[in-house]
Amino acid sequence: MHANVKQNVVPLITPGLKVACSQCNLRELCLPFGLDDHDMARLDNLIGGGRKVKRGHHLYRAGDAFESIFAVRSGFFKTDVLTEDGRDQVTGFQMAGEILGMDGISTEHHTCNAVALEDSEVCLIPFTELELLSSEIHSLQHHLHKVMSREIVRDHGVMMLLGTMRAEERLAAFLLNLSQRFAARGYSHSEFHLRMTREEIGSYLGLKLETVSRAFSRFQEEGLISVQQKHVRILDLPKLKGLLAPPDGRIA
Amino acid sequence: MHANVKQNVVPLITPGLKVACSQCNLRELCLPFGLDDHDMARLDNLIGGGRKVKRGHHLYRAGDAFESIFAVRSGFFKTDVLTEDGRDQVTGFQMAGEILGMDGISTEHHTCNAVALEDSEVCLIPFTELELLSSEIHSLQHHLHKVMSREIVRDHGVMMLLGTMRAEERLAAFLLNLSQRFAARGYSHSEFHLRMTREEIGSYLGLKLETVSRAFSRFQEEGLISVQQKHVRILDLPKLKGLLAPPDGRIA
DNA sequence: GTGTGGCATTGACGCAGATCAAAGGGGTGC
DNA sequence: GCACCCCTTTGATCTGCGTCAATGCCACAC
């Protein structure tokens, strides 16, 4: 079933791509967060270099042996899981500064697929060596734990979304989440380009692509956003946030 | 909003409850997995003792300062998150040998509630000290990472369930999951007592309690299980598993 | 520039599960 | 041991989203 594992993965490590963490403008979002110069240099030293992943190609596939986690340097990824019966579920979208691949630690094999949604670059962080270093640098160890914990908390948020929200609430939550993450990276919080298709959004949100499309159209009719294909502009942030409150609007 | 944080938490640590990991029949499922006698003794040494949590009481609440993770020694817990607008979502059920509280690492505060569904006992594992020890014992460090990663993978499974499955599939997956976990603990895989209400099952599965009840009844009509209130017996395991395959039964 | 195929939009219709409602049963607490 | 309340079951109806279908648009390759 996984005979073709890795076929699409660019196997080359391209040291020329390597950018020192200390020079990286994502260091405040990424793994080096909180390290002093000395420790950051040690982390730099173990990071194996960069890897380019072209749009549509896999960074890793479910079943691949787990060796490294990855930090997104640039670009955009999705992760998805699929069952033997062919259903698949997008479990997340990752942008610059975010960490990919932690699903693989538990079984020594990746349990989901990571696919680049645009031409992207990642830093490759060999996990065994990261553990070794993190046992020497306490703040690195703690930050790694925080990153993993954050992933768990994020997943709980998605479970809440999938378990309790209606279609328009889900899409509003999704847009607000993207907006906030773009803003954290210095991009506009009100205007951005969706890297994923309606179908991928729908898979992530537990909706069909038509429902996503209709919700976009409805938001536009109501003046909350303007949307043209993959270009989105948020016009009325407060009202969009208001969609997350339930109709009865009870006081907590 | 969290003025009453901890009001229900039994603040006592009861050292009399302490059972050495080496004496615990859950050690193969729990954190000490893979440790040799010497290292297990060191882990024992940091575990702060046990805590009893009576049915219906909180082990911790969203907002509580994070200090420890917990290993369930006996009993049964649920974790849930709630939004400011009053919706809540059960994010998991935890039984003996499973670890609770890792959601709190990322923000230093717990982000969900943990409630005992029956009178229970947990081991209290101070996290700072665990990090310290795990930087000295590599296999402990690695196993901790595996436990966290397993939680991430488990959450992906729930996302898959919530995003793609229909009501009866969800309930079948839930029952099979429970069955397998009971079996791993030496209990019957075919007959067990549900500790949670239909409403809690529904919340976990993204369904209303009536839908859960109807699905139970349907399974019983079809001879897959027998169910009387909280007592469940699985009568036709293969057929129950078969429910997880989609109707079209396509070949992967 | 032009062709092509994937992606998006929109409409009509159906259904799975939510909602509303009512009654019965059993476990829990006193 | 008893009573009460919560939990569960079951029915009737409603509705949000899925499904099916057709058309249109845009990005990209050549």
Q: What is the DSSP string of B85-111?
A: TS-EEEEEEEETT-EE-GGGTTTSB--
- DSSP 3-state assignment of A52? strand
Residues 5-64 of B with CB under 8 A from A: none
C-beta atoms of B146 and A106 within 8 A: yes
| Residue type (1 letter), A2 | H
Give CATH for domain A15-137: 2.60.120.10
For residue A56, give both structure tokens: 């549509």
- Nucleotide with minimal C1' distance from the CA of A169 is D16
In this complex, the answer to whether residue B199 has its CB under 7 A from any atom of chain D, a nucleic strand, is: yes
Which residues in chain A have their CB less than 8 angstroms from residue B165's CB? 87
What pLDDT score was predicted for residue B18?
67
What pLDDT score was predicted for residue A48?
78
In this complex, the answer to whether residue B167 has its CB under 7 A from any atom of chain D, a nucleic strand, is: no
What pLDDT score was predicted for residue A14?
52
| Residue type (1 letter), A171 | L
What pLDDT score was predicted for residue A16?
52
What pLDDT score was predicted for residue B22?
87
Q: What is the DSSP letter of A109?
A: B
Q: Are B136 and B46 in contact (CB under 8 A)?
A: no
Using DSSP, how many helices (H) and how many strands (E) does chain A show? 7, 9
Lowest mean pLDDT among A14-18, A56-60, A170-174, B111-115: A14-18
pLDDT of A249 over the 50 cut: no
Tell me: the pLDDT tens digits for B18-51? 678 888 889 888 999 999 999 999 999 999 788 9
State the CB neighbour count (10 A cutoff) for residue A191. 15
Please tell me if residue B106 touches chain A, with a CB cutoff of 8 Å: yes
For residue B90, give both structure tokens: 């059960």
What pLDDT score was predicted for residue A67?
96
Tell me: the pLDDT tens digits for B79-95? 999 987 888 999 999 99
Which residues in chain A have their CB less than 8 angstroms from residue B203's CB? 163
What pLDDT score was predicted for residue B40?
93
What pLDDT score was predicted for residue A11?
43
The alpha carbon dihedral of A238, A241, A243, A249 has a sign of: negative
Nearest to A102 among B141, B152, B252 (CB): B152
Domains of chain B, by residue range, sit at: 15-151, 165-242
What pLDDT score was predicted for residue A168?
97
- Check if B15-151 and B165-242 are the same fold: no
Contacts of B101 (CB under 8 A, 6+ apart): B59, B60, B66, B68, B69, B70, B110, B114
Tell me: the pLDDT tens digits for A200-242? 999 999 999 999 999 999 999 999 999 998 999 999 999 999 9
Tell me: the pLDDT tens digits for A24-57? 889 888 999 999 999 999 999 999 788 999 999 9
CATH 2.30.40.10 is held by the domain B165-242: no
A17 band by pLDDT with thresholds 50, 70 and 90? low
Tell me: the pLDDT tens digits for B126-148? 999 999 999 999 999 999 999 99
Which residues in chain A have their CB less than 8 angstroms from residue B206's CB? 162-164
What pLDDT score was predicted for residue B28?
87
What pLDDT score was predicted for residue A247?
46
Rounded to an integer, what distance in angstroms lies between the CA atom of residue B212 and that of residue B175?
Answer: 12
For residue A162, give both structure tokens: 């999938």
CATH number for B15-151 (one of 2.60.120.10, 3.40.50.720, 2.60.40.10, 3.40.50.300): it is 2.60.120.10
CA distance A142 to chain B (A): 7
pLDDT of B193 over the 60 cut: yes
Q: Among candidates B217, B236, B212, B241, which has minimal Cα distance to B228? A: B217
Rg of chain B over all Cα atoms, to the nearest angstrom: 19
Please tell me if residue B241 touches chain A, with a CB cutoff of 8 Å: no
Length of chain B: 252
